Amino acid sequence: MGFNAANANTTALDGLPTPPCARLLGWELLAARPKEGWIKVGFDARWEFTNPAGYIQGGFLAAMLDDTMGPAVFAMTEGRLYSPTIDMHVSFLKPARPGRLVGEACVVQLGKSIAFVEATLSDATGEPVARATCSARLVDAEKALG
């Protein structure tokens, strides 16, 4: 995953190959505080992601939120736990235009088998365009990714 140590603390995301879905979304780690379960990720909301009205289609916004929340858990657990989403609730706050979008996620609670995470996706002006909460199952990363 695109990581720049000059802008964030070292995390378990360092050196991992970027998954195809993250590449499609233009995923870039901007900052992280792994011990707090907080992460900030940049995305490239491309013109190809737009609906007939010219706004980014909601499924892409949801994917960006999902791809912010999962890495927050992975970084917080120092790469030990992978977190497939069980359920996710998304609220679309305002239309998003193509361009840079920034996601911020925070692990609200990390249990023994479930994590609760929340995230906000903002446009280039810093205005929130969508937010989400999710429940995610905690799986041993070596088994899930190995």
What CATH number should be reported for the domain holding residue 111?
A: 3.10.129.10
Classify residue 105: in a domain, yes or no: yes
Name the phi and psi angles at 35, rounded to 5. Answer: -65, -25
Classify residue 12: in a domain, yes or no: no
Rounded Cα gap, residues 72 and 124, in angstroms: 21
Helix (H, G, I), strand (E, B) or coil at 96: coil
Which residues span the domain enclosing 63? 20-145
Classify residue 32: in a domain, yes or no: yes
Q: End-to-end alpha-carbon separation of the chain, Å?
A: 17
pTM: 0.92
More confident residue, 10 or 117: 117
Q: What confidence tens digit (pLDDT) does each residue in 80-114 have?
A: 999 999 999 999 999 999 999 999 999 999 999 99
Strand bridging mode 28-33 / 81-82? unpaired
Classify residue 43: in a domain, yes or no: yes
pLDDT of residue 3: 42
Classify residue 9: in a domain, yes or no: no
Would you state the torsion angle of the CA atoms of residues 90, 91, 97, 99, taken in this order, to the nearest 10 degrees? -50
pLDDT of residue 2: 46
The confidence band for 10, taking pLDDT boundaries of 50, 70 and 90, is: confident
Residue 146 has pLDDT above 60, yes or no: yes
Classify residue 7: in a domain, yes or no: no
Q: How many domains does the chain have?
A: 1
Tokens 């429940």 sit on residue: 135
Strands lying side by side in the sheet with 99-110: 28-33, 38-45, 99-110, 114-122, 128-137, 85-92
Q: What confidence tens digit (pLDDT) does each residue in 14-48 have?
A: 878 889 999 999 999 999 999 999 999 999 999 99
